[in-house]
Each structure stands twice: as structure tokens, then as C-alpha cells.
Amino acid sequence: MAHTIRWGIMATGWIAETFVRDLLKDPKARDASDVAHKVVAVASSSSKDKADKFISTLGIPAPCDAYATYQELVADPNVDVVYVATPHSHHYQNVMLCLEAGKNVLCEKAFTVNAAQTKILCETARKKNLFLMEAVWTRYFPLSVQVRELIQKGEIGEVLRTIADTSFGDDVEEKWGTKHRMVNPDLAGGCLLDLGIYSLTWVFQTLYHTLPRDQRKAPTVTSQMTPYHLTGADESTTILLSFPTSTPSNGPHPHRSQGIAMTNIRVSADPDEEGTSGPQIRIQGTKGEIQVFGHPFRPTSYRVIPKKGLGEVRTVEGSFPAEGHGMFWEADEVARCLRDGKLESEGMPWEESIVIMEVMDEVRKQGGLTYPQKIESTEYPLQL
């Protein structure tokens, strides 16, 4: 019998729509018979009409309540878990609202504006015995799980370097202007928090998460940031991460590993959108390399290249069952965690979200990027 969870959706923007479309797909199409999803409530801070329209446009089956405030959503006793899909500037206030009301939460990336906010959210969830997860959906792709398993099995030896590039070649002024959340400092805009997080995801899930917990150590960070001339938010950021020595499971000598995480919204990592530029992620070990193709947030295939004489090159294609976007895998993880009484997901533990937020804090410090005091604040409640 499938364990069904009842979702409340906070906000009706682009990603909320994409996530809900995936929630409505039949789990059997992705071989998930143990969990199921229902969308029972949607809230829009703009108007009830907007929530109603969201429900009808997406064809969410009745009963599904529409609310004109987020407060009403978190007070709904039918909601098991809230999906927070507001801009990152608002995550701290919105997640606190959910937790204070006793709701479990899946919150979009970037989790918060800074690490201090993330720490308080995790502490609050722990105290209130509630589930909380940063929605880093890519980690739950079968492709990501397979890549992590290959690394842990020693397929490419000791992994010493990961290079990841999440970059869009946009006409920034034309496409994003000054008000869009991608570039608007009032909404914690900039490519680091929006896209750089995926490059960091690949660095962390290959060089950090694959180690036993007691060997995961925060990296040192060196970085460069280029501000967007119209708003000051970053339009380009490059980070060099150096992970401290850990005892390798498959090699005799302790080594440091390095990650290079790049993001840019003015030059693309895949200009012709055909993959001609090669992989956007390269994971390099002493016995070979794994290359990952497609956007780092939505990878489509990977290639294992053993060192000469150690085996054959092989390519593994991913797939998106039922023509989904790929967000249902993280939703299934939430359902399983709730079913099993877990407060956090092993795939994206609180501790790792905090370390990654600390890295981004340090990168912003080095690059001189600060956001308005209101959205950096840990005060709650605060009207933004």
C-alpha cells in the first residue's frame, strides 16, 4: 500500500508550477509503488484568484483548497508538508512560518540568504520534531545516485578533483533587467545563489558526501565575483574549494581534493545547446573520470572513462519518466522520510546544507556582495 502524503504549495510562480506538474505524474511510471502524492492546498500571496487559477490550469484534482495568504495555508490541518517556492530572500521567513505552525517543509534552493538563517531553521525543525529539507532536486536523480555509488565503489579510484560549470549565456540586461529575482538584490539575486549552488552541489556530492560522515570536512575557499553593473548582484562567480586531507578508502596516501565551481549568466557552458562544448561536470579520480552531460541541475547522461588499460569507456543515458521534469524524485524522498519518521534526508543532510551556505557566505564576503539587512536578518517575524 503506497504511503500518500498531502502537499500544500506556498507560492504560484514558475517552479511551483513545474513541481506540481511532476507531483501529479503517476509514481508507477518511475517504478515508485511505495509512495504517492496529493496536492490538497495552494496559497498565493497575490490573491485567491491566482491560487484558484493555478489549481485549474494544472488540473489538480479536487479537493484542493485555494488560499490568499500563506498563513491560511500553514493553518490547514489537511496539509502534511509545505513546498516553499518563493524567492530565496523570503525562504527564512516563510519556512519559519511553516515550522512555527507545526508543518513539515521542503524548501527551494538556495535554502536561505545566509548560513545563520539555515542554522536557525534546522534547529527549529529539530526542536519541533519536524521534517525539513532543502530542495536540491538534482541529488535525487537516479543519475546522481549512480554517480555517487560509482565513486564510493572506487570505480575511478580516489577522486581528487571536480570541475562544475552552471552557466547561461544570456543578454543579461535584456533578459533579466533589474527587477527579476535572478539579478535583484532585494530578492537575494545573483548567479551564485541561483545557479552556483548546482556547481557546488556537484563538488559536494562527489568530494564530500561520498566520504563517511566522520571524514567530511568543510573546505577552504578562494573565489572571484563579477558584479552586474545595473544591480551589484553577481553575474559571474568562480570558486576554488580545497577539501582537507581525509583518509582515502581506496588509496594508500592521504590527499587533499579540489573543487572548481563556476557560474555565469553572460557566457554559456553549452552555447549551442547541443552539448558540443563537452561535459559541464568532470569528476576526476586516480583511475579515471566521470563526465556528466546536460545542465548540472538537470543532467541527462554520464560517461565513465577509465584510465588507459583499465577498461572500456561507457555512456549511461538518464531518462525522465512520463516526460516529467525530474522533481518527483525529491518529492518521493520527502514522502519516504515522512513515512519513516525522519527529520532530515540522508541525501541532503542539514549539516551539509549549512556547510554549503557557509561556503556561499565566504564567497560573498570575498566578492563584497551583501544583501539588504532585512533579508540577511535572522529576526522572525519580519515584514519583508
Ligand X SMILES: O=C1OC[C@@H](O)[C@H](O)[C@H]1O
* Residues near ligand X, by CB under 6 A: 194-195, 297
| E strand segments, 190-297 | 220-227, 234-246, 255-264, 281-285, 288-295
Residue 353 found at the interface with ligand NDP (CB under 6 A):
no
Strand partners, 7: 39, 81
Residue whose CB is less far from ligand NDP, 14 or 213: 14
Residue 46 found at the interface with ligand NDP (CB under 6 A):
yes
Q: Is the peptide bond between 125 and the residue preceding it cis, with omega within 30 degrees of 0?
A: no
Residue whose CB is less far from ligand X, 113 or 195: 195
Q: Which three cell numbers stand for residue 13?
A: 510562480
Residue 50 found at the interface with ligand NDP (CB under 6 A):
yes
User: Cβ 267 to ligand NDP, closest distance in Å?
Assistant: 20
CB 110 within 8 A of CB 201: no
Residue 349 found at the interface with ligand NDP (CB under 6 A):
no
Residue 321 found at the interface with ligand NDP (CB under 6 A):
no
CB 68 within 8 A of CB 44: yes
Residue 57 found at the interface with ligand NDP (CB under 6 A):
no
CB 356 within 8 A of CB 209: no
Residue 196 found at the interface with ligand NDP (CB under 6 A):
no
What is the β-pairing status of strands 255-264 and 159-167?
parallel
Question: What is the x/- site pattern for ligand NDP, positions 102-141, by CB under 6 A?
Answer: ------xx-------------------------x-x----
User: Cβ 103 to ligand X, closest distance in Å?
Assistant: 23
Residue whose CB is less far from ligand NDP, 129 or 178: 178
Looking only at Cα atoms, what is the longest distance across the chain? 64
Q: Which does 364 bind (CB under 5 to 8 A by kind): ligand NDP, ligand X, none?
A: none
Question: Could you please report the per-residue DSSP string of 100-114?
Answer: HTT-EEEEESS--SS
**Binding residues among 219-258 for ligand NDP as defined by CB under 6 A:** none
Rounded CA-CA distance 259/239 in Å is 8
User: Cβ 288 to ligand X, closest distance in Å?
Assistant: 29
Residue whose CB is less far from ligand NDP, 54 or 243: 54
User: Cβ 107 to ligand X, closest distance in Å?
Assistant: 13
> Phi and psi for 288 in degrees, rounded to 5?
155, -165
Helix%, strand%, coil% for the chain, nearest 5:
35, 25, 40
Residue whose CB is less far from ligand X, 107 or 305: 107
Binding residues for ligand NDP, rule: CB under 6 A, are 11-16, 44-46, 50, 85-88, 90, 108-109, 135, 137, 181, 187, 194, 297
